[in-house]
Structure 1
């Protein structure tokens, strides 16, 4: 990265070494895997420059409120963009369009076309985002080599919390997204407690839990096989702003 190899974060990423996990095999076997920042960041850098990461991460500070929340909440800010990615890795941003989920997948906010403000052009074209998209294309393409083209949606989420208002990263509860594969990548968390990701089998049994703590911590999910959710977040210091910024990327075969 241009300014520092350390992720942008409230606290430094851990320097402790741990036994490397076979995360690709874990994703194939279990339908999900958790990648720590120290694992994922080099994988992204192998796909392209992260030299504009600081500008990329800073763009979460300019996000409109999600006005489609059926629970009346105003704790979520969001931007959205759609890309087409071919099997050979060609990335093309598509005309702005609504995000749609049926109520089978989103019982709270599904069943309507939701027109979110678009991801800024400079962010959609950034080398950091394209490195992330190429990484996802390589991983998910290897799992489904027969797919020639992917419909890809990117969602910038900021979940805010106050002393009188918890933030709900997944207000619809434990869910699937109705796609093939999902990446959830932490960009930053500031003054936030909790936000634990939980993974469940279709029968409701727990398959694991973890907390995205540092920038570049991420989970990869086979959406057809597992359900996922995230616990509510709340401020550590009620007198200070508190938010959790993530990028969600979904891949659906066309």
Structure 2
């Protein structure tokens, strides 16, 4: 499925992001269409995406892999305001993340330019607005745990965007934007039915999000997600896949 086949907002039509999240637990599209104004290709976007060249190696990979680079920060978000929270370790229960869970993981934070910049704030406030409308309970604050990820593809070593396999993140919603893809094949995102026993059921959809700005937004309770490994494309010696990922939870 092409992301362009599941368009977001259009004049005079219901918001397909909200409809998708409500009706089937997911929506996909491109962020410029969703916002109704271009963000990709702007000077602000160029400064935002350039920061992926300054990510640190993830030192917490229990599989011994050195293919993931990342930074991590947390925010409180509403439809009108995004506030950076004090930096702390990212934690997941072992039951949620069988590979890397169960230990505090203190990643390098976002640079000030990203954390306080217009693109990150635009994306996160847009997420809050979609979720407010999806749940139709009035404005609320959303707790966003946010990653800048780069997955490397090198000869003889597959880069794994989801090294833990098909999984939940233990939150309410997951928003993923593809920033860039260079010299790779793979990196297809799939959603699966979440079964009551913690396993995943049948595949619901597979999406290869196109950069810049292709996104997937999914309900982390109703669905589970996974991404196929990335490997160098024919004729390429290496490559990478860059993403901006926000996992969002309701504030009490």
Of 180, 186, 197, 1:194 maps to 186
CA deviations on 1:160-189 (whole Å, 9 max, x unpaired) are 011111100000000011111110000000
1:98 pairs with 2:92:
no
Unaligned runs of 5+ in 1: 1-13
2:213 corresponds in structure 1 to 216
Of 234, 241, 245, 2:242 maps to 245
Of 92, 99, 103, 1:108 maps to 99
1:3 corresponds in structure 2 to none
CA pair 126-19 structure 1, distance change in 2 beyond 3 A: closer
Of 34, 46, 56, 1:43 maps to 34
- Let me know the Cα RMSD of the aligned residues: 2.2
2-side partners of 1:210 and 1:74: how far apart?
Answer: 26
CA contact (8 A) 2:18 2:134 kept: no
1:61 pairs with 2:53:
yes
**Normalising by the residue count of structure 1, what TM-score does the alignment of the two structures yield?**
0.86
2-side partners of 1:156 and 1:134: how far apart?
Answer: 17
Aligned length: 235
Instruction: Look up the SS of the partner of 2:76 in the other structure.
Output: strand
1:10 corresponds in structure 2 to none
CA deviations on 1:80-101 (whole Å, 9 max, x unpaired) are 0111124x52211011011111
2-side partners of 1:147 and 1:177: how far apart?
Answer: 24
Instruction: Look up the SS of the partner of 1:57 in the other structure.
Output: helix
Task: Report deviation, 1:146.
Answer: 5.4
CA pair 20-241 structure 1, distance change in 2 beyond 3 A: closer
Instruction: Look up the SS of the partner of 2:249 in the other structure.
Output: strand
Instruction: Look up the SS of the partner of 1:56 in the other structure.
Output: helix
1-side partners of 2:190 and 2:33: how far apart?
Answer: 25
Task: Report deviation, 1:244.
Answer: 0.2
Of 154, 159, 172, 2:151 maps to 159
